[in-house]
Structure 1
C-alpha cells in the first residue's frame, strides 16, 4: 500500500507588503500627497504657513515610521545580515533627511511668521 503526501500548501504571508512597497508609499507617495494637500496655492498668510509646516512634519513622521517598520520587519523575518544592514542604512538615511526637513520647516515657519505677523 502506498501513501501519497498531501499537496504542499502555500503559507499565508505574515507581511503582505514588500519592503520596497512600504518605502515607496511611506517615504515618497504619502508625504508628497500630504504636502500637496496642505500647500497654499495663493499668497500664504499665517494660518497657511502653520498648515504647511504641520503638513511637512506629518509627512516626514510617516516617512520615519515607514523606514523603521521596514527595518523592524527585516529583523522579525530574520533576514540575512546584509539585508538587515541595508535596511538599517536606508532607515538611518531616511531618518536623518526627515529630521532635517522637519527642522527646516520649523525654521521657515519662524521666518514666515516673523515676516507676516
Structure 2
C-alpha cells in the first residue's frame, strides 16, 4: 500500500505559503486554483490572525492579477460576496449559484 501512495503522490508539490505568495509562485496561464477561504463572518474560528475580513480584499486583488483561472467557494451572506466581487466579475468571470455548502454558498469562477 505504501508503494501505491508513493506512486500516486510522486508528482505532487506541497507548499506552506500565504495565499498571495502561493498564487504568485504557481500562477501560469493554464493554472486552475481552487480557493476555499473561511466563510464570511467565521474567520475567528480558524485561528486568531490566520485570515481576517480584510484579507478578502487582498484575495480579490490577487485574483484580478491572475494569468490562470480560479474557483472560489464562499458563503453568500450580506457583505461577503460584494467584497470578493471587487473586479472578479469582469471579463468573462461568472457566478455559479448553489455550491457544495447548500443554497447560501456560491462558487465564483474566473477565466474565459
Taking structure 2 as the reference length, the TM-score comes to: 0.26
**Going by fraction, where is helix more abundant, 1 or 2?**
1
**Going by fraction, where is strand more abundant, 1 or 2?**
2
Taking structure 1 as the reference length, the TM-score comes to: 0.26
Task: Mark the structure with the bigger radius of gyration.
Answer: 1
